[in-house]
């Protein structure tokens, strides 16, 4: 007997729901069954801890922005409403399992000639159907009734049960979609925060570079007037100044765009988030490795993978429901109530009536509609099995790619940090040499400009490093907390069923 690892057994349980008549047996798509044991690019293989993973950035301003986004983001409001819609549809589907009961009350008044209907029939029996009874030529009567009626289709073949369980699976998929939307909002908030921090830093560094180049240009003009430098050097300094000045409006435009996107994420208008952003942002990225766990964890951690699995389960159950429609249906209907010729008689126990009807209906000819419904459900099941397998392949690919990118960005950031330290040491040296009269002031300004350029590059590299770390968390599935509870690690259809049928 082939041994199935516990995590894969959990994944199989995710797709299965016991007792689903006519539904095909649950089967893991090949990419899921062949999940690798570890990620190729993983440095640390400890269990991934997704709870409030954004606090890994250790940034109180970022934490406050995320808290605001989780409360006010309109995409999340829309996603929550979709979950409520799916919950309601699940309740509708399960309603088919139960009898439908209706209460009714009616009054009927009848007035007809005595020689028609039953009266005409009696006269025919007496042989005097032509002569009217002079004392009774019309029937006038009023009937009052109050009743309870019911109808019930017995779910003998499991059609309603399969449709109900499929609706529960769709509900769980919509909840996973909500988690995916939350993860998307968190990721966008974090990436936009680091972009804003980087752009603000670059604006300040660009302005400082403009000041240095203006001072450098003024000194070069003075030296040119004295015949100490050529016109080529003067033009080059002016060209450098104009180039940097021209880049400043572009950076400021990008900053305004990033702040506007942050406002939308927070459900506010631009210009109304200054209190949350503050004046000084700390974009310092973390360089620590990330524990990734193993690829099988993605089946429960990644909300898009969970949604794909639930939709596959829903499609499997619908195959069983459509097959059940090919078989006869047994239904019961009836009513129980009081009936009287006056209102007071409705309270007389002897005025009761009852009826019960049982029916067996079998489809004989539907023009191929029922069998084509089965074929359509089976084709959808195959499609969603492929979609689930593709989601798992994509998840593993994104984790390994993001891990590789994170490692490369860490190496690049370390190189640029070293370059920044060397540029700073060079600028300090030139400042001391200028103070000692060993070099001219222009040499110090050139070293200072180089330092500012390296700092600008390092700021952008820090943002790329933070985004690479964010990509790892997002690829692993991220995480969240709801009212202090632990995140859902698995899906239990029985709990969702009881919730949907309340």
Determine which of 5-9, 160-164, 255-259, 272-276 has the lowest per-residue pLDDT on average. Answer: 5-9
pLDDT at position 121, please?
65
Contacts (Cβ under 8 Å, ≥6 apart) of 162: 20, 21, 22, 23, 317, 318, 320, 321, 324
Three-state DSSP class for residue 484: coil
How sure is the predictor about 13, in pLDDT bands with cuts at 50, 70 and 90? very low
Side by side, the strands of the sheet bearing 100-113 are: 100-113, 138-154, 329-340, 352-361
Distance CA 263, CA 73 (A): 10
pLDDT score of 440 more than 90: no
Q: Could you read off the pLDDT of 366-389 as tens digits, one per residue?
A: 888 889 989 999 999 999 999 999
178 vs 229, residue with greater confidence: 178
3-state secondary structure of 25: coil
Residue 311 has pLDDT above 50, yes or no: yes
Higher pLDDT, 44 or 29: 29
Could you report the per-residue pLDDT of 97-112, keeping only the tens digit for each? Answer: 888 889 988 888 888 7
Scored b (16 or more CB within 10 A) or e, 178-192 reads bbbbbbbbbbbbbbb
Taking 70 as the threshold, does the pLDDT of residue 39 lie above it?
yes
Least confident of 207-221, 286-300, 371-385, 444-458: 286-300
CB half-sphere exposure, 73, CA atoms < 13 A: 23
Residues 6 or more apart whose Cβ sits within 8 Å of residue 39: 45, 292, 294, 295, 396, 399, 400, 403
Q: Quote the CA–CA distance of 459 and 124 in Å, as a whole number.
A: 108
pLDDT at 502 (0 to 100): 37
Give the residue extent of every domain in the chain: 49-97+157-210+247-282+297-327+397-502
- What is the pairing mode between strands 352-361 and 138-154? unpaired
DSSP secondary structure code for residue 22 in this structure: T
> What pTM value is reported for the model?
0.76
Q: How far is CA 165 from CA 19, 170, 339, 377, 433, in A?
A: 11, 9, 42, 15, 80
**pLDDT value of residue 15:** 44
Residue whose entry in the numeric block shows the structure tokens 């949907």: 500
- Domain 49-97+157-210+247-282+297-327+397-502, CATH class in plain words: mainly alpha
Instruction: Calculate the CA 480 to chain-centre distance.
Output: 13
In this structure, what are the phi and psi dihedrals at residue 110, rounded to the nearest 5 degrees? -125, 135
């Amino acid at each position: 007997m082939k041994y199935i690892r516990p995590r894969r057994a959990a994944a199989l349980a995710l797709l299965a729901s016991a007792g689903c008549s006519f539904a095909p047996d649950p089967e893991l798509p090949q990419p899921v069954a062949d999940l690798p044991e570890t990620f190729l690019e993983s440095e640390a293989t400890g269990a991934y801890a997704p709870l409030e993973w954004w606090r890994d950035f250790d940034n109180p301003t970022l934490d406050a922005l995320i808290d605001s986004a989780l409360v006010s983001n309109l995409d999340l409001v829309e996603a929550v409403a979709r979950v409520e819609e799916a919950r309601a549809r699940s309740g509708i589907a399960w309603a088919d399992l139960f009898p439908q009961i209706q209460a009714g009350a009616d009054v009927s008044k009848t007035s007809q000639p005595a020689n028609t209907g039953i009266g005409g029939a009696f006269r025919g029996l007496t042989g005097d159907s032509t002569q009217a009874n002079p004392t009774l030529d019309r029937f006038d009567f009023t009937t009052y009734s109050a009743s309870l009626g019911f109808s019930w289709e017995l779910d003998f073949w499991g059609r309603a049960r399969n449709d109900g369980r499929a609706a529960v699976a769709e509900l769980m998929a919509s909840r996973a979609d909500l988690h995916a939307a939350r993860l998307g909002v968190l990721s966008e908030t974090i990436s936009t925060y680091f972009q804003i921090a980087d752009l603000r830093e670059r604006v300040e560094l660009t302005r400082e570079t403009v000041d240095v180049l203006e001072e450098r240009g003024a000194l070069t003009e003075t030296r040119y007037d004295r015949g100490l430098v050529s016109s080529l050097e003067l033009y080059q300094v002016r060209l450098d100044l104009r180039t940097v000045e021209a880049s400043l409006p572009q950076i400021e435009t990008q900053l305004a765009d990033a702040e506007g996107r942050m406002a939308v994420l927070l459900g506010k208008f631009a210009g109304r988030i200054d209190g949350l952003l503050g004046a000084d942002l700390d974009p310092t990225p973390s360089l620590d490795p990330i524990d990734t766990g193993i690829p099988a964890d993605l089946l429960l951690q990644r909300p898009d993978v969970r949604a794909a699995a639930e939709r596959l389960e829903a499609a499997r159950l619908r195959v069983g429901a459509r097959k059940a429609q090919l078989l006869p249906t047994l239904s019961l209907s009836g009513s129980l109530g009081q009936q009287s010729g006056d209102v007071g008689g409705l309270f007389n126990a002897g005025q009761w009536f009852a009826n019960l009807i049982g029916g067996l209906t079998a489809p004989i000819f539907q023009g191929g509609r029922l069998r084509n419904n089965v074929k359509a459900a089976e084709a959808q099941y195959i499609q969603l099995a492929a979609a689930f397998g593709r989601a798992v392949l994509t998840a593993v690919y994104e984790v390994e790619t993001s891990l590789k990118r994170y490692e490369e960005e860490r190496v690049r950031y370390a190189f640029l940090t070293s370059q920044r330290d060397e540029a700073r040491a060079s600028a300090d040296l030139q400042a001391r040499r200028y103070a000692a009269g060993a070099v001219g002031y222009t040499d110090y300004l050139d070293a200072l400009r180089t330092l500012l350029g390296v700092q600008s590059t390092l700021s952008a590299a820090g943002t790329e490093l933070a985004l690479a770390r964010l990509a790892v968390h997002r690829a692993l599935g991220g995480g969240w907390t709801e009212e202090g509870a632990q995140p859902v690690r698995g899906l239990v259809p029985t709990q969702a069923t009881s919730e949907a049928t309340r």
